[in-house]
Amino acid sequence: MRSRLCRLPTLALIAAGLAGIVTPTASRALGVETPSTEMERELERVHRAAAKDKPALAPAIDRRTLSVGEGDTLMDLLTGAAVPRSEASSAIAALRDVYDPRKLKAGQRVTVLFEPRRGGTRRFLGLEFVPDPVRSVSITRKGETGFTSSQVEKPVSRKLIAAQGVIRSSLFEAGSAAGVPLSVMMAFIRDYSYDVDFQRDLQPGDRFEMLYEQMVTPDGTVVGDGDVLYASLALSGEDMPIYRFKTRDGRIDYYNRDGESIRRALLRTPIDGARITSGFGMRNHPILGFSKMHQGVDFGAPKGTPIYAAGRGVIEQVGPFGAYGNYIRIRHNTEVSTAYAHMSRFAKDSRRGGKVEQGDVIGYVGATGRVTGAHLHYEVLKGGRQVNPRSIDLPTGEKLAGRELQAFQQTIRALEKSFEDTRGGLQLARTPGTPDEKGCSKATSC
């Protein structure tokens, strides 16, 4: 009987082994070595080694996205999110290396990062935000008390955009119908303001076309407008093309097809988008009530519209000046000066003896002095006497020659080809219902 009972554990063990439920520990306890015992020992050693080498799981990060409120500072935002003031101060100090925290605007979203700890507490790790479409900024903890800042900028490429249109009522309206951004249209007007009086020279049916740059990120987001590379304005059938060109010594300017700079000594209109309300010559004075010589040109524009220096020179008078109100006079050379009157205020850098470049903002349209409404009174003085700004003969800028002219002619061909390639299939923008060259319109059949 004893021998039979002694054999039962062995039989049970064998049966259990066949069932796959014998563990190495159980087999050793019974004094039996199964074929898999050595393999199981090796697996146990591998598992222990793997557990020893495996890094601990990173703690979860608590991310809180906050919105900057009207009048909030970054310090207000962080302390309001329970960040200790001393750590918030250190983080803001680190941020200043890459971004001015004072530039944060209401509505800007800032993500604050925390590390949860035992007992329900949290440790401030840093913050991140996207101040503009082309870059992201982050602040991360460095050690126990310090922080470091970094920023990542998206690459921006230049995309060529072609536009063209027919002018029916205004150039701005035609540009808007063609999808041209306002900033590009303003640059177009400034480029042509040396030769074109946009109040009087434009006629219905005149045309424009241009090739300009658009700044885009890899995902196609438009983040800004670049330069006008080529433009053409057709006035009463006469084409006036201009081309952007960089000379060998690094100067960038616009030139006509003959290689002549479009820049003149003075701008014809020192203000954008304004209309002439009174020309040079005799007129019935609107306030005094009798005929009087009007010794300048008046441009009607809303109060606050920027006024540009018509040419390079030195400010020789600035301040209130009788019926002229707020007044600036600029000396351009020993013979020619320009004057600007009725300003609401002066630009901060406008001071007597100060140097200005053509196109610099010197003040803003107003209604100071003897006026009936906001406008710019503009004068050109030659030898100390007012002359008609529209009739004075002013020299143009430089003219390209030699190798420079040859390089410019290559630029012309390249820009014109780029325009043709880019505009492929572009439809001429017209005001709906207006006739085309054949007298047809979308509203009628021909």
pLDDT > 80? residue 268? no
Q: Is 389 exposed, middle or buried (0-12, 13-18, 19+ CB in 10 A)?
A: buried
Average of per-residue pLDDT across 49-55: 50
Among 52-66, 210-224, 415-429, the range with the most confident prediction by mean pLDDT is: 210-224
Average of per-residue pLDDT across 113-126: 88
Average of per-residue pLDDT across 397-418: 92
Query: Each residue of 163-194: pLDDT tens digit?
Result: 999 999 888 889 999 999 988 998 898 888 77
Average of per-residue pLDDT across 41-63: 57
pLDDT at 239: 92
Q: What is the pTM (predicted TM-score) of this model?
A: 0.55
Query: d(Cα 438, Cα 141) in Å, to the nearest integer?
Result: 70
Query: d(Cα 51, Cα 369) in Å, to the nearest integer?
Result: 87
Q: Answer for the pair 396, 261: CB distance below 8 angstroms, yes or no.
A: yes
pLDDT > 80? residue 290? no
Report residue 159 as tokens.
């995309």
Confidence of residue 397 (pLDDT cuts 50, 70, 90): low
Query: Each residue of 97-106: pLDDT tens digit?
Result: 999 999 998 8
Kindly give, in sequence order, each residue whose CB lies less than 8 Å from that of residue 417, ignoring residues fewer than 6 positions away. Answer: none
Query: d(Cα 178, Cα 169) in Å, to the nearest integer?
Result: 14
Average of per-residue pLDDT across 123-131: 93
Cα-Cα-Cα-Cα dihedral sign, residues 33, 34, 35, 41: negative
Going along 268-312, which residue ranges are E strands?
A: 275-278, 281-284, 291-294, 297-300, 306-308
pLDDT at 221: 84
Query: d(Cα 170, Cα 201) in Å, to the nearest integer?
Result: 11
Q: What are residue 220's phi and psi, to 5 degrees?
A: 90, 5
Query: d(Cα 94, Cα 141) in Å, to the nearest integer?
Result: 10
Average of per-residue pLDDT across 378-401: 80
Q: Answer for the pair 315, 353: CB distance below 8 angstroms, yes or no.
A: yes
pLDDT-above-70 percentage for the chain = 77
pLDDT at 20: 41
Report residue 195 as tokens.
């030769």
Single-letter amino acid, residue 75: M
Q: Which of 86, 69, 94 is nearest to 124 (CA)?
A: 86
pLDDT at 149: 93
Q: Answer for the pair 326, 346: CB distance below 8 angstroms, yes or no.
A: yes
Query: d(Cα 369, Cα 342) in Å, to the nearest integer?
Result: 6
Q: Answer for the pair 366, 344: CB distance below 8 angstroms, yes or no.
A: yes
Q: Among the listed ranges 66-70, 183-187, 282-286, 413-417, which one has the minimum average pLDDT value?
A: 282-286
Q: How far apart are the first and last CA of the chain?
A: 121
Kindly give, in sequence order, each residue whose CB lies less than 8 Å from that of residue 45, ignoring residues fewer than 6 positions away. Answer: none
pLDDT at 44: 57
Confidence of residue 41 (pLDDT cuts 50, 70, 90): low
pLDDT at 154: 85
Query: Each residue of 232-253: pLDDT tens digit?
Result: 999 988 899 999 999 988 889 9
DSSP H helical ranges for 70-227: 74-80, 85-95, 171-177, 182-192
pLDDT > 90? residue 318? yes
Delineate the domains of the chain, giving CATH numbers in brackets: 2-53 (no CATH), 62-153 (3.10.450.350), 275-387 (2.70.70.10)
Mean pLDDT of the chain: 80
pLDDT at 85: 93
Helix, strand, coil % in the chain, rounded to nearest 5: 25, 35, 40
Report residue 373 as tokens.
């409404």
pLDDT > 90? residue 56? no
Place of tokens 């608590």: 62
pLDDT at 227: 93
Higher pLDDT, 360 or 263: 360
Beta carbons within 10 angstroms of residue 342's beta carbon:
24
